[in-house]
Copies of this chain bind each other. A is one copy, B any other.
Amino acid sequence: MNRPSKRTPEEMRPVSLERGVAKHAEGSCLIKFGDTHVLCTASLEERVPPWLRGQNRGWVTAEYGMLPRATHDRMRRESSAGKQSGRTQEIQRLIGRSLRAVVDLGALGERQITVDCDVIQADGGTRTASITGAWVALHDCLKWMEARDMVKTDKVLKDHIAAISCGIYEGTPVADLDYAEDSSADTDANFVMTGKGGIVEIQGTAEGEPFSEEELGQLMGLAKQSISKLVELQKLTVL
């Protein structure tokens, strides 16, 4: 098996996390997975959604977008189409759920943090890169709040969260699919895991042939290894 990227099966693309890239946001991170670049910004608001009012708890949510020419062919701008696609909504729901899995909403107080993940350039794996970068933006937003005596970061943020997509490419399980690999992979699975190794989300889809339980296990193995590295990188980044 030869990956188009020449990477070994377990090799991720070069990953970088750059903090503090947005002048106005309370927390921000530009994450790059090779040619996939996502700008994550965390915005604090002193209000919660109507259904949560008066419960002394906060909320963390996410929105996801893509610049029209982030992709190989230009895509129609969703604001001009008048609605977000099903794909966009599916992804932003996933990011929000993933972040909330490591947040103590009670410790946040009656406030909302919205993490916007905007894909500046896309080359596969935008949703998993978004989750991994969003954690850093969220962390820095909490640090900003801590500096103003609003919260204790480590009371609110219980653990790390990071994500990777793995797949079966020409019969071989491989980590971190880029666009070329994703397009022709038989199976594509996204894993979201905590710093302690707990699984928060798993989404596996057979694109061609169904996959077996054994193959799922192999993908899980690659995912654990990759996510463990991403969590290390997060730790170094926010040191």
Which residues of A does B touch, CB under 8 Å?
Answer: 22-25, 28, 35, 39, 41, 43, 45, 63, 65, 67-74, 77-90, 92-93, 97, 101, 114, 116, 118, 120-121, 123, 189, 193-194, 196, 198-206, 209-213, 216-217, 220
Contacts and interface: CB of A to CB of B under 8 A. Distances in A.
A230 to B, nearest CB: 16
A45 B67 CA distance: 17
B90 A90 contact: yes
A69 B25 contact: yes
A86 to B, nearest CB: 3
B79 A83 contact: yes
Given A35-B23, A90-B90, A93-B90, A82 B83 contact: yes
SS class, residues of chain A in contact with chain B: mixed
Interface centre among A84, A86, A210 (most CB of B within 10 A): A210
Contact of A68 (B43, B87, B88, B101): B43
Nearest to A193: B210
B201 A72 contact: no
Contacts of A28: 69
B79 A88 contact: yes
A104 to B, nearest CB: 12
A121 B118 CA distance: 13
Contacts of A73: 24
B114 A74 contact: yes
A200 B193 contact: no
